Amino acid sequence: MADILIRKSGHIGHITLNRPQALNALTYQMCLDIEATLDEWATDDSVKMVLIDAAGEKAFCAGGDIQQMYDTAAAGDFDYGRRFWTDEYRMNAKLANFPKPFVALMQGFTMGGGVGISCHGSHRVVCENSQIAMPECGIGLVPDVGGSLLLARAPGRIGEYLGTTASRMDAGDAIFAGFADYFIPFKDWPALTKTLIKTGDWQAVDRAAQKAPTSKLAAMQPQIDGCFAAIGILGVLNGMDSSDWAQKTEKTLRRNAPLSVGCTLEMVRRVRGFTRIEDALNMEYRFTYRSASDGDFVEGIRAAIIDKDRNPQWKHKRLEDVNPMHVSKMLTPLGEAALKL
């Protein structure tokens, strides 16, 4: 069974992720296939728009398939991961700049690499079981695939909060934070797909949309802004008496890789001044290029996915141990090794 189904159906170009048993995790070859398809369909007059969806109900795409990236990096070979990220980021940029309507149907888990192949589209659809997140800090990375730009554009300091805590957004939260545009019940997706195939009329998405659920994130924004705009986030959290939210947030921050948390805060704040996804991807690549050789990526994957002991031994034991010099080292320009899109 093919990992990805790519075909022209009626008036649309149709991409279906087809690894439901692996939560439609994105392989290196799938990235290359999507890029080649975008190149072809961008100038194909028979394709009025593109639709990307996924098999199963549990996940649109739970992230990148990073087994081989771990295997090579753990053996001291960092070139494979760097090549993977280079090619994936190039595909993300092409998707964000795609000249035709791009509809993404995001059920269940949409995380990490899954965000990169959906949330840069023009018509981003969520449903009642959608769960969107950027969980990279938990494995020694930073939000990438252009996710830093989405986080930077979120209201207030919501981006810093989502990026460092990996908090999951439901449909209402995703629309509020700018990761999605439309709420359409999952049961209505087959009929919508048929209409798009038959007509190529992307405005059918607007007509099918319903009122989005209330966003819990929106209600939390004042306290999130108060904490995540501060220099000393932990100090602010500790000063919030015994708030359940403050305690949970601090616990989450301390569980993630300290270097990743520090770099994510700095990165989102820098990217807030950018307008192009290419500039955000270049910033992200500075970190991911160094993530295995100088960061916590190998240990993060070992603890979360390989040994599953959930007990990573991070290079920095505590968030307080990460200083601006450590952050600067991970985000400094790469010179000749810089991302070339």
- What pLDDT shows up at residue 52? 98
Confidence of residue 241 (pLDDT cuts 50, 70, 90): low
Across the range 319-332, mean pLDDT stands at 96
Q: How many domains does the chain have?
A: 1
Of 41, 14, 55, which is closest to residue 194 (Cα–Cα)?
14
Confidence of residue 242 (pLDDT cuts 50, 70, 90): low
Q: Which domain holds residue 14?
A: 1-341
Residue 275 has pLDDT above 90, yes or no: yes
- The full length of the chain comes to 341
Confidence of residue 239 (pLDDT cuts 50, 70, 90): confident
**Residue 324: exposure state from Cβ atoms within 10 A (0-12, 13-18, ≥19):** exposed
Across the range 102-122, mean pLDDT stands at 98
The 10s digit of each residue's pLDDT in 53-79 is 999 999 999 999 888 899 999 999 999
Q: Which of 119-128, 159-168, 231-240, 245-254 has the lowest mean pLDDT?
A: 231-240
Residue 170 has pLDDT above 90, yes or no: yes
CATH of residue 162: 3.90.226.10
The structure's pTM equals: 0.96
